[in-house]
Chains A and B, each alone.
Chain A
Amino acid sequence: MNILVCVKQVPNTQAISIDPVTNTLIREGVESIVNPYDGYALEAAARLQDKDESIRIVVLSMGPPQAEAALRECLSLSADAAYLASDRFFGGSDTLATSYILSECIKKIEALENIKFDMIFCGKQAIDGDTAQVGPEIAEALGLAQITYGLTCELKDNELHVLKETEDGKEIAAIGFPCLVTFTKPDFEPRFATAKRRFAAKKAEIGRISADDIPDIDRGKIGLKGSPTQVRRTFVPEVKKGGTIFRDGPQDESVRSLAQMLVDNNIVATVE
């Protein structure tokens, strides 16, 4: 079986701080990492591969040439091959244009490798954009059934059984092939790169896909011009200061004072 995992290189947002004077993000020196949710998607694929060595894992990313580093990291973890979709015509794409480009790239890779992907795994969202749209939009573009918020998965009776997060707990959903699954954070972290794989990954060839490589792509649907989303303005949210902390006196008294304040401010109707 073949699994394609979509990954994005993102700035480590945990390491980004805000300049207290200009109120803008300090991006300087911030490490670029594989989007953590994509890392969980890759780990889910790797765990399937642990059980069945014949499974082939291919990773795909869209981004500038330096995103190759993220793909090499995936190769050092568990991926067997990697492709980077990189072209100035792809730049400025919103989620719809991105998912269109990625879906076209997936078809291209299938043609190049002469395979069909049984599963496409994505992180549920990227930590720099937080839209959670690209995965489901790829499924839509490719006409695939999908499961979102996956935690772990296993192959069973020619189906993929996905343990997924729901509003009020977890459930196991089964899906046939081909399919797309997006993954969220499970209760474990992805594996470490083994040294052998890491050295091989450094030397590995990474496939490049440009707009010219996909002659059928509709250039009106890609890049900044092909994106219906328009960013009018970005701003740093105002930091709210002050507030009241109820901590003097016994706990139940503090809780009562807090409840009364909520009632007084019409935030809740009554408190029993």
Chain B
Amino acid sequence: MAYNQVTPEIIAQLEKIAPGRVITGTDINPDYGRDEMPIYGTRMPDVAIDVLTTEEVSEIMKLCYANNIPVTTRGAGTGLVGGAVPMMGGVVICTSKMNQILSWNDEHFGVVIQPGVILQDLQQAALKRGLMYPPDPGNKLSTVGGNVSTNAGGMRAIKYGTTKTYVRGMTVVLPDGRILKIGENVEKTSMGYNIVQLITGSEGTLGVITELVLKLIKAPKIAISVLAPFEELNTALQAVPKVFQSSFRPTALEFFERDILIMSEEYIGKAVWPRDIKGTPIQAYLLMIFDGETMDELDPILEKLTDFMLEQGAMDVMIADTPTKIKDIWDARGVFLDVIFESARLYDENDVVVPINRIAEFVKFFWDEAKQYDFGVNYLGHAGDGNLHIFAVSNDMDEEEFKVQVAKWMTSMYQKAKELKGELTGEHGVGGGKVEYFQEYVGDIAYELHRQIKLAFDPKNILNPGKVCFSYEELGLAPANV
């Protein structure tokens, strides 16, 4: 497969399509050549275009399709698997300026937005109307288009589901420039293949999303946080499946160990969390959110939960029910990733999912495995859904050696996750960083089906090439500066 270079003639044509918004060469914002996981490679595009309309995107795609030029779509660039990095060069379409909320349907719990709307803007705008957009991935400055492209999850997934649950329809520009408008905001559809859900989570490989029809729900009036400290991680993790077995319905159920909490509190310069109970050090925490309409409704649940947690071996149970306390408690959790990004020169990550009753086994496995390597490990996890974020970090290792060692470690973790009947990635996607692992994980038949689907949408393989189910190498192009 041979892609063509972007010529001055093509740039001139692009300039006609998006006047004044076609940026080339060194004028392109350096961020457009990377996401938040640069270990999977960085590369600047030849051209970057801040698009404004579906029609513009369509014209750009027609031009690039006719000329065999790779196109990569990006939003805020907060991905963690190199998904939006234009590793084959060519054109980057940035949807960040398509950031308008187009219409609300409060009676019908729906909203139509452009893909560049920032997640927290949508969440806050919905809340002002008494509505909630439940998907809640960690990076609130990500774009909703990006969230849809990776089927992002977040902490509230255990009660409300992941992004896909709220994607009802979309306008998509196909690789050849055709505009597809599909899906309506209704609860049921049994009409043919579910193309909306196929494009959701396809990481920008099947089409360019230019409009989204999203479902909303009525916002719960209150949400309070419950913290349960434990002397031992295993005791904490053993309690997790029992939370659900005992019919508690937390909105979020997170866990983490002492070390990352202390790192985070040092990072924000505020020590709020308890670190010991009556002189006994806390080793692990379960942090939960419960939401509802009134405190009178929640209080009996919380009383039962308190007794339940103490029976499960919690050292104590603490409740944060005022905005200040809740903010205090979540501030440290909110910076976990920043702490890792800023404290380590080299980092790589996976976000495997394992059944919630196997988390403890998996955590022990990766710690044991990591002992033979030179890098450090930081991790945290969504205990309620078994989705972990496990980082290898180093400041002093040689980059190549780091990559070699981490690859071995990652491979062992993916094998283990498969053995435990888990998944390769819970919410970050395959991107460019995990194509090989993905092939191995899903097996030949599923991988081949993925490729056939990709080629049905994109026979020339020009849209976000080298991601999900085609590797850079097999496209015949060693990326310039991986």
Interface residues of B (CB under 8 A from A): 226-227, 270-272, 274, 278, 299, 302-303, 305-306, 316-325, 328-329
Contacts and interface: CB of A to CB of B under 8 A. Distances in A.
B322 A192 contact: no
Contact of A189 (B271, B299, B306, B317): B271
29 contacts: A12-B323, A12-B324, A31-B324, A33-B322, A33-B324, A50-B278, A73-B322, A189-B270, A189-B271, A189-B272, A191-B274, A192-B227, A192-B272, A192-B274, A192-B319, A192-B320, A192-B329, A193-B320, A194-B316, A194-B318, A194-B319, A195-B226, A195-B302, A195-B305, A195-B306, A195-B317, A196-B317, A198-B319, A199-B306
A193 B319 contact: yes
A187 interface: yes
Contacts of A73: 322
Nearest to B227: A192
Given A195-B318, A199-B299, A188 B271 contact: yes
B322 A31 contact: yes
A199 B302 CA distance: 9
Contacts of A195: 226, 302-303, 305-306, 316-319
A148 to B, nearest CB: 24
A50 B303 CA distance: 24
Contacts of A33: 322, 324
A185 to B, nearest CB: 11
A196 B322 contact: no
Interface string A160-197: 00000000000000000000000000011101111110
A193 to B, nearest CB: 6
B317 A194 contact: yes
Interface of A: 12, 15, 31, 33, 50, 73, 187-189, 191-196, 198-199, 202
A33 B306 CA distance: 24
A138 to B, nearest CB: 26
A123 B359 CA distance: 45
Contacts of B302: 195, 199
A52 B290 CA distance: 35
A69 to B, nearest CB: 9
Contacts of B321: 198
Given A189-B272, A195-B226, A196-B306, A31 B323 contact: yes
B299 A202 contact: yes
A50 B319 CA distance: 20
Contacts of B322: 31, 33, 73
Contacts of B324: 12, 31, 33
